[in-house]
Every structure is written in C-alpha cells, then in structure tokens.
Amino acid sequence: PLVLGIETSCDETGIGIVRGSTLLSNTIASSMDEHARYGGVVPEVAARAHLEALQPTIEAAVAEAGITLDEIDAVAVTSGPGLAGALMVGIGAAKALAVSLDKPLYAVNHLVGHIAADLLTGEDVEYPTIALLVSGGHTSLLLVRDLVSDVELLGETLDDAAGEAFDKVARILGLPYPGGPEIDRAAATGDPAAIRFPRGLSKASDLAEHRYDFSFSGLKTAVARWVEQDAARQAESGDAPAIPVPDVAASFREAVVDVLVTKALDACARYGVPRLLLGGGVIANRRLREVALERAAAAGVAVRIPPLSLCTDNGAMIAALAAQLIMSGHRPSTLAFGADSTLPVTEIQVDEVEAG
C-alpha cells in the first residue's frame, strides 16, 4: 500500500511516503532553531511551528515521491507519546486529509514507529529484536517479538532522557543547544577516563531490582558538582577558573554510553535475542555507535543502525508502521482518537475499528 505518514510529536514536522517497505520520500521541517535560545523544546512554539510547516512539508513530500495525493491508499499519524499540543496539530491535519481524500486513517505509536524505521533500510529485518531508543524525549529499551502485535517495554528513564542529559550537561559546560553534537565534538580531544562519573542504576543489584530502567539526573548533578568543586580548587591555587571541557565531556559521554550499551546487551543475553536495533537522535553519538558495535560483536549480537535521517523523528517511519498494519490485516482507526502524550508502547495502533 501507498501510505502517507505524519509525525508531529516533538519539534520535527515529518511527512513520509512509503509503498510497503519502500521509501519514496521523507521530508522534515524542524523548529529546533527556534527552541535553541530557550535551551530546550518549548511546547507552544513547537505546536505553532507544526501548524505553519505541515502544508508545505506535505506538498514537498508528495512532489519528491512523484505521486499525487489521490493515489495514496491510507494516511498514518502519530497519536502519542509526545507533546500533546504538537501531536494534536498533526492529528487534526491527518483527519482532515483522510476525510477529504476519503481514505482510511491509521493512528499509531511513535515509539513503535522508530522500530519500523528499520524496515525502510532495504535490508532483511528479523524479529525478535531488542531495541534501544534514545533521543531528547525518550530512553526506552524494548523487546520486539512482532512489530504489529507484540512490543514489550523492558525499561525506560525514570527522570531525564539520554539526549536531555546531553543538553543539560552542555549547558553546564557553557556549550549551546542542542548539546549532543557539541559534547560529541568536545569529547573527541578529551580523556574518557579522566573523571569517573556515576553509572545510574547499573550495579548488579540495580540491574536485578530496576531491571532495565535508566536514570540520568544523578549523572547530570555529579557533573555540575564536579565542575563547581574543580572551579573552587583552581581558585584556591590562584588560577583563573576554566572548565576542562574536553575531559568532562568525554567522561560524561563515556558514562552515558556505558549504561546504555551495558543494559541493552544484558537484555539481549537475558532474553536470548542476538539482535539489537538502535534508534533516536542520540544514535548520532559517535562513541555510542563505536562502543555498541564493539561490545555487541564480542557478545555475538548483530547491531542494526538505520541512517540518521530515519533514526530521528520522521514521517516515513510512521507510514512504514501503518503499511505493516495494513499488510497484516489490521483495520483503520476510527476518527475518535486524540493525542495521548503518555501512550504506552504496547498500544501499537490506537482506536482500531472493530470487526463486523
């Protein structure tokens, strides 16, 4: 089926068009720059930006795919999780488009969409797989037995998301938003072993008790405290205080990466699943990719990393998930659904029309 997907859960307006598992276009407008001066995504600003970007982004995606709108078989949209106001803008547009074209509408889960992105790489995809999704909004470890029917949440962050931790630590170090790329760059010339920062919820006892949940706020606090104490030390010895940014960045990055990879591979071992899929914007992190590939190879786990344009929020992954739902016989969603900012990952499709 030819599906147009709409994604507006955060700060990317993503429109994607797929035919089955073949990617035809993936067009994105981001309001990232508008949020930069606030140091993080501002929900009202994101919602307004989606409203302005939707129409031109749909037109661009349709043109790039070389189709006309009336050719599509279905419309797909993210119904959650995400920012409620941002989600509602995409949902409104999707409903209007589906009604005006008289096409079925599929309301789907954003997190499961991230997993569906892997289908668009053109390579064979096998389940079950463990999936690690890390972005500015989520840090989730999933066991995917079947994309359209069986996704289990193994753990998620109890406080900050991994990308959020990068953004907050960047601010402590005086680096601009978004902090992930800045810290990655600064870390390149730093020593990852310079400072031993805490690995939240990663002791053997934590692993037993918290299973696969994550916590990054303690790490952020540890970095802030270290920087403060180091400044005091420098002042005492009569130096003008300067943060050793490369060493702090490298040591912080190492702690985040260590936790993420340790837990993901522990899940692969515990569930006997020799496959690990990585998704979300933090996958851009060079050290994360490096350590994941290294340690997975040693553990006999195959790692899949889709191209970054499919790892960050996009509409193509939403369309790809809906195409799978259609091909496996799922009915469309009713028009009654709304935005669900805390939609659980087990709800792969929302508000499916009942049979009969």
Residues forming contacts to ligand ATP in the complex (CB under 6 A) are 9-12, 82, 135-138, 163-164, 166-167, 178-181, 184, 280-282, 284-285, 312-313
Residue 108 CB partners (closer than 8 Å, separation 6+)? 76, 77, 78, 79, 318, 321, 322, 325, 348, 349, 350
| 302-305 own/partner pairs: CB under 8 Å, 24+ apart | 302/274, 302/275, 302/276, 303/276, 303/277, 303/278, 304/118, 304/121, 304/123, 304/125, 304/129, 304/275, 304/276, 304/277, 304/278, 305/278
- Specify which residues 279 forms β-bridges with: 133
Q: How far is CA 76 from CA 165, 171, 179, 195, in A?
A: 31, 37, 31, 46
12 binds Fe ion (CB under 5 A): no
Residue number with CB closer to ligand ATP (171 or 270): 171
CB of residue 340 to Fe ion, shortest distance in Å = 15
CB of residue 102 to Fe ion, shortest distance in Å = 30
182 binds Fe ion (CB under 5 A): no
- Which of these segments, 17-25, 128-136, 211-219, 231-239, binds Fe ion (CB under 5 A)? 128-136
Taking alpha carbons only, the member of 320, 353, 344, 337 closest to residue 92 is 337
Residue number with CB closer to ligand ATP (138 or 275): 138
Q: Report, in angstroms and rounded to the nearest whole number, the Rg of the chain calculated over CA atoms.
A: 21
Residue number with CB closer to Fe ion (113 or 246): 113
CB of residue 12 to Mg ion, shortest distance in Å = 5
Residue number with CB closer to ligand ATP (11 or 254): 11
Residue number with CB closer to ligand ATP (104 or 178): 178
Closest-approach residue to Mg ion (CB): 11
11 binds Fe ion (CB under 5 A): no
Residue number with CB closer to Mg ion (42 or 194): 42
Residue number with CB closer to ligand ATP (74 or 175): 175
Q: Which of Fe ion, Mg ion, ligand ATP, none binds 190 (CB below 5-8 Å, type-dependent)?
A: none
Site size toward Fe ion, by CB under 5 A: 2
**Cβ–Cβ under 8 Å, residues 168 and 181:** no
Rounded Cα gap, residues 257 and 262, in angstroms: 8
347 binds Fe ion (CB under 5 A): no
313 binds Fe ion (CB under 5 A): yes
CB of residue 264 to Mg ion, shortest distance in Å = 21
Q: Does residue 134 have a known ligand-binding role?
A: yes
Q: Which of ligand ATP, Fe ion, Mg ion, none binds 337 (CB below 5-8 Å, type-dependent)?
A: none
Q: Which residues bind Fe ion (CB under 5 A)?
A: 135, 313
Residue numbering of the annotated binding site for substrate: 133-137, 167, 180, 184, 285
Known binding-site residues for Fe cation equal 110, 114, 313
Report the binding-site residues.
110, 114, 133-137, 167, 180, 184, 285, 313
